Chain A
Amino acid sequence: LAKTTQPISMDSYEGQEVNITCSHNNIATNDYITWYQQFPSQGPRFIIQGYKTKVTNEVASLFIPADRKSSTLSLPRVSLSDTAVYYCLVVPKGNSGYSTLTFGKGTMLLVSP
């Protein structure tokens, strides 16, 4: 499994755009890049997933360069409620319909007023 490296913590203010970068130098051809969000005392929640280039949904954008050795989760105009831990995961595509998620330490994002 490809190992991921991301900052332990980040600080931001309300209304700012936050970019969290994750390194995954050993990513394999069949691996997807996936981000989860975890609030205190809750289970992780899927945010976004991508394979290459750019993916955008109602919550975030995910930028993946051509070499796929890193990815950047972009949160536009964060609010206090975006304070959470954000996990970057590399998930094998595999031949089965199920996957094991390997969570790292994540990035603790603190949004201040």
Chain B
Amino acid sequence: DTAVSQTPKYLVTQMGNDKSIKCEQNLGHDTMYWYKQDSKKFLKIMFSYNNKELIINETVPNRFSPKSPDKAHLNLHINSLELGDSAVYFCASSQDRGSGKSSYEQYFGPGTRLTVT
């Protein structure tokens, strides 16, 4: 049983195209995240949704638009793809532990390797 799944695993596309990456978690978690890992292996948070509401939006170009149709899904749509968008994108989820708790335990998906040519 896959906890956090992403599709597609690989995505090769040309500059200027629009593409989407889907993420689903079957853990019943309240919070989902998108991270980007670049060629230097730095892993950075992009967005976070809690119960379908955007709660974290780091400095990301507005070409990137996350959408959460329900608590179990967080999709990432990217418009006008650029060469610099090539990276591995990870989806993650965590359980909302309530006030005063830290959701340090996040469950990551297998990643989507995006290559823009």
Contacts and interface: CB of A to CB of B under 8 A. Distances in A.
* A complexed with B: yes
Interface of A: 32, 34, 41-46, 49, 85, 87, 89, 91-103, 105-106
Interface residues of B, number: 33
A85 B42 CA distance: 12
Given A32-B102, A93-B101, A100 B45 contact: yes
A97 B45 contact: no
B103 to A, nearest CB: 5
A13 to B, nearest CB: 24
B20 interface: no
A44 B42 contact: no
Contacts of A85: 41
Contacts of B92: 43
Interface in B67-108: 90, 92, 94-108
B57 to A, nearest CB: 11
Contacts of B30: 97-98
A98 B41 contact: no
Interface in B28-54: 30-31, 35, 41-45, 48, 50
Contacts of B31: 97-98
A100 B103 CA distance: 9
Contacts of A98: 30-31, 48, 50, 55-56, 94, 96, 103
A49 to B, nearest CB: 5
Nearest to B109: A43
Q: Which 7 A-B pairs have the closest CB atoms?
A: A43-B108, A97-B96, A103-B43, A98-B31, A91-B104, A93-B102, A34-B104
